[in-house]
Amino acid sequence: MGNEHILSSFDDDLHKLNKDLLKLAKLATEQFVSSIDNFSTQNIEEIDKLILRDKNLDDLDEKIQQLGFEIIALRSPQAEDLRRVISALKISTVLERIGDYSRNISNRTKALCELSSDDIPGVNIGKMGLVTQEMLEDVIIAYKDKDSDLSIKVRDTDVVIDKMNTKLYQEVLASMSRNKKNIVSGTHILFIAKSIERVGDYVTDIAEQNYFLINGKPLSEERPKADKTSLYGID
């Protein structure tokens, strides 16, 4: 099958959609990586820049949604073309949300900067962020290369994030029990960890959408989950 449509402007639209989506993926990754870096460095100036940059992601997502609707309305895409447009719309929304979570992480990091480092529980946010970053980078490669196996691998990696989040949750709660001065900072850290865990879930959504795009059917097997934080305190 030739890859080009008889109507070249249809190809132009699809290329533009793909190009914008990859640009948004790059921006979302940069925002997420910066949010984790800023947590370590606590550079207020960088944090403020990151928060301002979030609007770029919102604007690009809006542009992608508009183009996607136009393609559906004007081109009536079929089969793989239709899956590509629908997937682009869904993935774009998810990337924009990853941007939102990166901003949330930054807002809470900024609050932590105001607190004494003695009153902050020592937990490994950086490692959890790094695993999530690798998942995010891999899922973008899987999208670009139409790699079904890599999509499944990314989805199945989410369980690692879940386990890290559960462990971190227990550690922060223990820290807060020991020292009440840690309650404010501990709560911010719990929300930061939850944001990272949610980014992991969103990456998983992209992986599943990517599988559907490539194979034309949903990834039906249930994905492994290990986030036990919602059950904490129940015997």
In whole angstroms, give the CA distance from residue 184 to residue 179.
Answer: 11
Shortest CA distance to 24 belongs to which of 78, 94, 122? 94
The one among 16, 22, 27, 76 contacting other proteins by CB under 8 A: 76
Rounded Cα distance, 217 and 214, in Å: 8
Q: Does 2 bind other proteins (CB under 8 A)?
A: yes
Which of the residues 214 through 233 are near other proteins (CB under 8 A)?
A: 216-217
CB of 123: closest distance to other proteins in angstroms? 46
Q: Which is nearer to other proteins, 177 or 215 (CB)?
A: 215
Cβ(226)–Cβ(158) below 8 Å:
no
CB burial of residue 205 (10 Å; 0-12, 13-18, 19+) = middle
Q: How many residues bind other proteins (CB under 8 A)?
A: 18
Which residues 77-116 are close enough to bind other proteins by CB under 8 A? 77-83
- Smaller CB distance to other proteins: residue 81 or 156? 81
Query: Could you tell me the smallest distance in angstroms from the CB atom of residue 11 to other proteins?
Result: 9
Q: Binding to other proteins by residue 3, rule CB under 8 A?
A: yes
Among 5, 16, 23, 110, binds other proteins (CB under 8 A): 5
Q: For 19, phi and psi rounded to 5 degrees?
A: -60, -45
Cβ-proximal residues to 158 (8 Å cutoff; 6+ apart), any chain: 135, 200, 201, 203, 204, 223, 224, 225
Please report, as ranges, the residues that interact with other proteins according to CB under 8 A.
Answer: 1-7, 10, 76-83, 216-217
